[in-house]
Amino acid sequence: MSLHSDFMTGAYQNFQMFDNAEYNEMLAEHDVTVDDDRRNQLLSDMNDLLLREMAYSCTPGYYHFRYAWPWVMNYEGEGTTRYFTSIELLEIIWIDQDMKKEMGY
């Protein structure tokens, strides 16, 4: 859940068209506050407001399963390393050719 893209007025993922001036003010203050105690209080207050005011609540998504050959190294099941791209993932994984050969492939 993103406090900006999911609930800020006019945000691209604000699918329920949530529009609350009090929430927007708390979010703006949260973004510039450096005091951890105040930020935590703002987060708590924003969550309370969202629970009271939201028109609906999203259910959890479905399960994702990812598999890789045992010789694919440095891969932990990531589907992406950024929002829309996985190019960095291709730069960090590698194939253990010796293990692959030992396993008959």
For residue 82, the model assigns a pLDDT of 67
pLDDT digits (tens, 9 = 90+) for 7-19: 888 888 888 888 9
Question: Stretch 20-31: mean pLDDT, rounded?
Answer: 94
CB-count burial class (<10 Å; 0-12, 13-18, 19+) for 45: middle
pLDDT digits (tens, 9 = 90+) for 72-82: 998 887 776 66
Q: Hey, which residues does 95 pair with through a beta bridge?
A: 72
Distance of CA 60 to the CA centre of its chain: 13
29 close to 42: Cβ distance less than 8 angstroms: yes
Q: Give the domain ranges of the chain.
A: 1-61, 72-102
Phi, psi of 32 (to 5 degrees): -110, -5
Q: Is the pTM of this model over 0.85?
A: no
